[in-house]
Structure 1
């Protein structure tokens, strides 16, 4: 019985490692809060696992002094173990703290939060924006398949852009939707008080620039850019 219990503990520990490595082969780095949320564990329990993985060379810890925050990223060794024996390996970036921008860390972590919430709701095929082709005119923060089976773009919005910029973004995305690249573009806001203000901003968009002309925007067009706060994301209908 004791041997069986030990084997179960080992299997559980290995399973947690695999989940973390699979997540970080996509996301490269994260914080303890998101990793704990992904595992369904308390932060102290998750901390034990990531420290063991750091000790074994799978993860690298980096302290962001300005934010009083620690990040854990995947190492080359971690990437080597991030695919199962029956999966083809892919080239993915490993964690390089020197390439981090303090200004974008909160945004990146919020996108991960949106991912975890969406996947728990049944969304699939999440691809972070930095893994999308660099030559597309507008790279969203992520794309995914919602519960209706639609491929959608996700934008995490933390600050208001100018109306002119939103008009240009709408124009690009509407053309992409016309080509059936995306069904919708979901805007997600980490601050619940921010979301209604973004909706009001979108309501000011009456036309968008396309090929040197102004094309009118209807409510039907605007409905393809739904806005959510993280605590109401995603809607049950996807």
Structure 2
């Protein structure tokens, strides 16, 4: 998303504001870092665009303490009710209410958003969690496991995306492995990508791939390499590289 060919500063500014609102249309909130990555501009440029949107009443600033903030707080820019009305086809959108969003939810959403941006830049199609849940609600027999997102590669492979910020129990992962193997068998998806913190990646991989048997079509089957190879484990930097050449 480059702006070098837009010589008119007004046109450049309008396009940047429109693109940020488009990002917020799906995700409700973002950060300067994620927005600058999404637009392909500097952080300073992204910050100035958010400030213009704030001045127009289209976004609000919400500073949150969280584990990834460099100085103890993270600046969250959320869509306001006025900003919601400024978006075309906003019926399915939501505005940002700081009182109704926990820090843990914000951190998970922002990490998912960053993963999505890398995918979009590499030409993938992306279905965010809200739409995934609607899809699963309509077809519960096909979507036994609801991922954080569904992403389709440029070659048409449908991948379940899981942003794994904290580890689950082995018993829980066993259920997840069974569900995903059934979905692989039925060709609902062609693979599962776990995006994990660097220090958790190996442990998550070990737990997910630990069962010797999985249930498919109501029968106990070997959890063999054909199925195991469909589970991919990456940290966010590895994901950026993988997305370019899946």
Shorter chain as denominator, the TM-score bin is: 0.7 to 0.9
Q: Shift in Å at residue 194 of structure 1? A: 2.6
Q: Is the 8 A contact 1:114 1:230 kept in 2?
A: yes
Q: Does 1:215 align with 2:211?
A: no
The SS at the match of 1:57 is coil
Please list, as runs of the form range in 1=range in 2, the aligned pairs for 1:119-130 lying within 5 A after superposition. Answer: 119-124=120-125, 126-130=126-130
Residues of 2 paired with 1:211 and 1:219: CA distance? 18
Q: Is the 8 A contact 1:147 1:237 kept in 2?
A: no
TM-score (norm. length: structure 2): 0.83
Q: Equivalent residue for 1:60? A: 60
Identify the match of residue 145 of structure 2 among 118, 122, 138: 138
Q: Is the 8 A contact 1:167 1:207 kept in 2?
A: no
Q: Is the 8 A contact 1:63 1:69 kept in 2?
A: yes
Q: C-alpha offsets along residues 67-118 of structure 1, whole Å, 9 cap, x if unaligned?
A: 51221111232233333xxxx5542111111110112222211111111111
CA RMSD of superposed structures (Å)? 2.4
Please list, as runs of the form range in 1=range in 2, the aligned pairs for 1:190-201 lying within 5 A after superposition. Answer: 191-201=197-207
Residues of 2 paired with 1:8 and 1:175: CA distance? 54
Residues of 2 paired with 1:227 and 1:7: CA distance? 43
Please list, as runs of the form range in 1=range in 2, the aligned pairs for 1:74-223 lying within 5 A after superposition. Answer: 74-83=79-88, 88-124=89-125, 126-132=126-132, 133=134, 135=137, 136=140, 137-189=144-196, 191-209=197-215, 214-223=220-229
Structure 2 runs not aligned, ≥5 long: 1-5, 67-71
| 42 and 237 in structure 1: CA distance in 2 versus 1, 3 angstrom threshold | closer
Q: Shift in Å at residue 227 of structure 1? A: 0.9
TM-score (norm. length: structure 1): 0.85
Q: Is the 8 A contact 1:153 1:184 kept in 2?
A: yes
Residues of 1 paired with 2:82 and 2:127: CA distance? 22
Residues of 2 paired with 1:210 and 1:24: CA distance? 39
Q: Equivalent residue for 1:22? A: 22
Q: Is the 8 A contact 1:33 1:43 kept in 2?
A: yes
Q: Shift in Å at residue 213 of structure 1? A: 5.7
